[in-house]
Amino acid sequence: MAEVSTAGSGVGARVRRKEDDRLLRGRGRFVGDIALVGMKELAFVRSPVAHATITGIGIPEEHRGAVFTWADLAAGGVKPIRAVSGLPGFKVSEQPALADGKVRFVGEPVAVCVAASRAEAEDIAASVFVDYAELPVNSDMLEAVKPGAPKVHDHWPDNVFLETNVGGTIAEIAATAPVKVSRTIRTARQCMVPLEGKGVVVHWDRHVEQLVLTTSTQMPHIVRAGLSECLDLDQGLIRVVAPDVGGGFGWKGLLQPEEVVAAWIAMRLDRPVRWTEDRREHLVAAANAREHHYEITAYADERGRLLGVEADAWVDAGAYSVYPFSACLEAAQVGSILPGPYDFAHYRCRTFSVCTNKPPIVPYRGVARTGVCFAMEQMIDAVADAVGREPWQVRLENLVPPEKMPFDNVTRKHFDSGDYPESVRRAVAAIGLDGWRARQKAGEPDGRLIGVGFATCCEQSAHGTAVYHGWGIPMVPGHEQAQARITPDGGLELRVGVQSHGQSMETTFAQVAHEVLGIPLEKIKLVHGDTGLTPYSTGTWGSRSMVMAGGAVATACRTLAERLCRIGAHLMQAAGPEAVVLKDGAVTAGGAAVTVREIAHTWYRAPQLLPADVDRGGLEVTAGYKPGSDHGTFSYATHAVAVAVDPEIGQVEILDYVVVEDAGTMVNPMVVDGQIYGGVAQGVGTALYERMPYDAEGQPLASTFMDYLIPGFTEVPHVRIIHMLTPSPYTEFGVKGIGEGGAIAPPAALCNAINDALKPLGVIVTNAPMTPEVILSAIAGQRGTA
């Protein structure tokens, strides 16, 4: 268990956030809050059809010069976005920032309009007349892979970005296993819906001769790399800045076509320009996450011990491959992580990244794990049902036990630490399973059906070099760097290339630095999310920032500590650096002490007092860091939920929700809790509400918050969290990434709870979201066959 103290304000302390005050006073600075002198606004003409050839673009005479198309960008040397994977067989799509003769999804940008205000730019957009010759549409991934389906990319032989095959044959197990259960499972296409849409302000800084792109991104350095490729501009001529960013969840982890367009327009017109994604643009053009389909079979013995799992999985990857994650990361990840936290020996999984006439898929919080967990955890319950045991008992039967840690699973994922079965036992106790079972037996006076569901998941975070090298995509995480600088007045500046958009890094990285240097939090300043001011980083994704950049901050601060001790020892005429200690912001030797502030003063203002052999690097350090394992860390959790299902109207009420979570050492437990609460809320959305429906012509059927439902105050439960604290053996302080886990297990736990409730009716639901309509049709289907 963790050795770190929870007192004070270092690692483990529940301290309030440094970023709160400005945000609580409306003094944050989001992209939409930035206005530059002479700035123009952009509005996009977007395709109203899912698949068509553009036969003409009519620009009214009075707006010539204010409307630009791909022909203009291409003549200016702009290249399409190319996000290639090195995995064998990957088919390359090219995504022009504005459609090049063909549109492939509803909402695809076709032309851009420039005006003094957004309203006027939208007026111009409404006057642009585009002729479309409509083509047959792929609106469903299972149809799109069939022979004869219309091709999204004409020169491809089919509509599959990539097929992967993991594992070997399990025919022998399939032939002999006493228990065999199969399911068809599906998750819906979703929008990520950060409350702030995307936005970008671009100008050419004449003084430093740089294109300055201020954008709501999670990965400024990667956006810079992608822009450089598309604009054929040296990276040194581009600065990408992320200001306050209003939530991301993955949607802000890509190079956007609109960013490329805005950058080019700013250079072409030599004027600052701004584009702000409105909610309708987001819901229509960015419905880009989570759509999975599984045909899955589990084999087990009579006790429910898993003997093998085999699956075919399809992921609807949309029309193009996004930069940098590519179109295949999600489906290929399904193949490697479907086994979840379980220990079994035989496995086969085939995956397809399917190209359709929908927006390109982008990794959403949890990436493939939410779908994978939804599938695998349904199978655990199905096995339990088949062998007549409680689902939690079958989980205990199959989870990797603590004595096997660290553990390499069937797909060679290296689980670092933890007691997975204990998380189940604690969840069973905390939800009060016996009480619910008694209530189930007694029946509800209102006729509703009670159900309890569990789901266990693990969350790989801080992904390493080898796996991403294997993907062969435009981004491979290596050593993460941080800069730490003692200021002349004894404060500390930290500079990191990751980006905080709600994760509280201004506070938590300061806590890490405080733990090492003892400098008070209020004197520590984090600079982040700016290619001009920070070391290179692949950015904030994959629950990596605390492990990677936090580790780098600690490493840099340790070097600073050594240098402070050396100077401090000299100033106190101590025997040497080994004769002093750095504690509470001062270097001490016996009764003598010299503060960090005094040492800083010496370095900057009184260098004549420094020792002759002082480190010439001074009080500024750039340090690189990688965890001890290239496989990253594995946090894990068991979610338990009790529901009441109304069989007459199909409505689900969540009666209690418990998360037992092991995030390793927590730098700030309050922040960890916040990540879990927020993740669960999104998971509840995935489970019960969120779905972007498409008709057969590829038309999205939701475009407002009245028809795309995200959970609100009355839909999300007052979640209870129980922490386990097993440090990772591979990271600074034993921390593990935790940003996504909350969003992974809820659909699975809720599905299992609903099916537990529906058990007396002899029906199951297997698709998310589990809306009243889905539940009622399951019940009606059974009644129809009865």
Under the rule (CB under 8 A), what is the footprint of another protein? 16-17, 19-30, 32-33, 35, 117, 119, 193-196, 244-247, 249, 278-279, 501-504, 670-671, 673-674, 676-682, 704-706, 710, 712-714, 716, 718-719, 742
- CA gap 284, 700 in Å, rounded: 6
Nearer CB in complex with another protein: 197/335: 197
Q: Judge residue 75's burial from the number of C-beta atoms within 10 Å of its C-beta, 0-12 exposed, 13-18 middle, 19 or more buried.
A: exposed
Environment class of residue 247 by beta-carbon count within 10 Å: exposed (0-12), middle (13-18) or buried (19+)? middle
- Cα–Cα distance, 563 to 619 (Å, whole number): 7
Which residue in 642, 109, 179 sits closest to 359, CA to CA? 109
CB-count exposure of residue 618 (10 Å: 0-12, 13-18, 19+):
middle
Beta bridge partners of 578: none
Check whether the bond before 769 is cis (ω within 30° of 0).
Answer: yes
When the beta carbons of 202 and 505 are compared against another protein, the nearer one is 505
The minimum distance between CB 668 and another protein, in angstroms, equals 9
CA distance 106 to 358: 7
- Identify the CA nearest to 81 among candidates 400, 362, 425, 273: 362
Contact 189, 287 (CB under 8 A): yes
- What does the block give as tokens for 433? 């399973």
The least CB distance from residue 508 to another protein, in Å, is 12
CB of 216 vs another protein, minimal distance in Å: 10
Q: What angle do CA 294, 298, 301 make, to 5 degrees?
A: 175
d(CA 81, CA 394): 47
SS3 48: coil
Unique residue bearing structure tokens 């690097």: 617
Nearer to another protein by Cβ, of 340 and 717: the residue is 717
**In the complex, minimum distance from the CB of residue 449 to another protein, in angstroms, rounded to a whole number:** 22
- 667: tokens are 């730098």
CA 465 to CA 455: how far, in whole Å?
Answer: 30
- Residue whose tokens read 């590519």: 326
Q: Which is nearer to another protein, 36 or 476 (CB)?
A: 36
Q: State how far the Cα of 401 lies from the Cα of 526, in Å rounded to an integer.
A: 40
Beta carbon of residue 718, minimum distance to another protein (angstroms, whole number): 6
CA distance 483 to 472: 28
Three-class SS of 756-780: HHHHHHCCCCCECCCCHHHHHHHHH
CB of 705 to another protein, least distance (A): 4
In the 8-state DSSP scheme, what is residue 31?
Answer: G
Cβ distance to another protein smaller for residue 22 or 146: 22
Alpha-helix residue ranges (DSSP H) falling in 114-219: 118-127, 141-144, 171-176
Nearer to another protein, 24 or 649 (CB): 24
The least distance separating another protein from the CB of residue 72, rounded to whole angstroms, comes to 28
Element (H, E) at 596: helix 596-605
Q: How far apart are CB 784 and another protein at their closest, in Å?
A: 36
Residue 430: CB minimum distance to another protein, A: 16
CA dist list (Å): 669 to 17, 310, 618, 637: 12, 38, 34, 16
The 3-state DSSP class for residue 669 equals helix
Q: Residue 112 has which token pair?
A: 């851009």
Residue 43 or 716: the one with the smaller Cβ distance to another protein is 716
Closest to another protein by CB, 118 vs 268, is: 118
Residue where the block lists tokens 């790989």:
460
As measured in angstroms, the least distance from the Cβ of 176 to another protein is 46
Which CB sits closer to another protein, 560 or 681?
681
Handedness of CA 465, 289, 315, 49 (dihedral sign): negative
Give whichever of 119 and 171 is closer to another protein, judged by the CB atom: 119
Which lies closer to another protein via its Cβ, residue 338 or residue 640?
Answer: 640
CB of 119 to another protein, least distance (A): 7
Q: Which residues contact 698 (CB under 8 A, 6 or more apart)?
A: 49, 50, 51, 105, 106, 137, 138, 139, 356, 357, 358
The least distance separating another protein from the CB of residue 277, rounded to whole angstroms, comes to 11
Radius of gyration in angstroms for the set of CA atoms belonging to the chain, rounded to a whole number: 27
Measured from the CB atom, the residue of 608 and 704 that comes closer to another protein is 704
**What's the min distance (Å) between Cβ of 93 and another protein?**
29
From the CB of 35, what's the least distance to another protein, in Å?
8
Q: Closest separation between CB of residue 604 and another protein, Å?
A: 34
Smallest gap from Cβ 245 to another protein, in A, equals: 7
Strands 346-355 and 480-486: unpaired
- The residue written with tokens 């699956």 in the block is 311
Cα-Cα end-to-end distance for the chain: 54
E strands present in 229-338: 238-241, 273-276, 287-289, 292-300, 306-318
- Closer CB to another protein, 122 or 397, in the complex: 122
Between 246 and 324, whose beta carbon lies closer to another protein? 246
Which CB sits closer to another protein, 21 or 172?
21
How many other C-beta atoms can be found within 10 angstroms of the C-beta atom of residue 131?
11
From the list 354, 361, 359, 358, the residue with the least C-alpha distance to 146 is 354
For residues 215 and 503, which CB has a smaller minimum distance to another protein in the complex? Answer: 503
Nearer Cβ to another protein, position 331 or 654? 654
Residues 264, 266: Cα–Cα separation, whole Å: 5
Q: How far is the CB of 659 from another protein (least distance, A)?
A: 11
CB of 128 to another protein, least distance (A): 20
Closer by beta carbon to another protein, 600 or else 692: 692
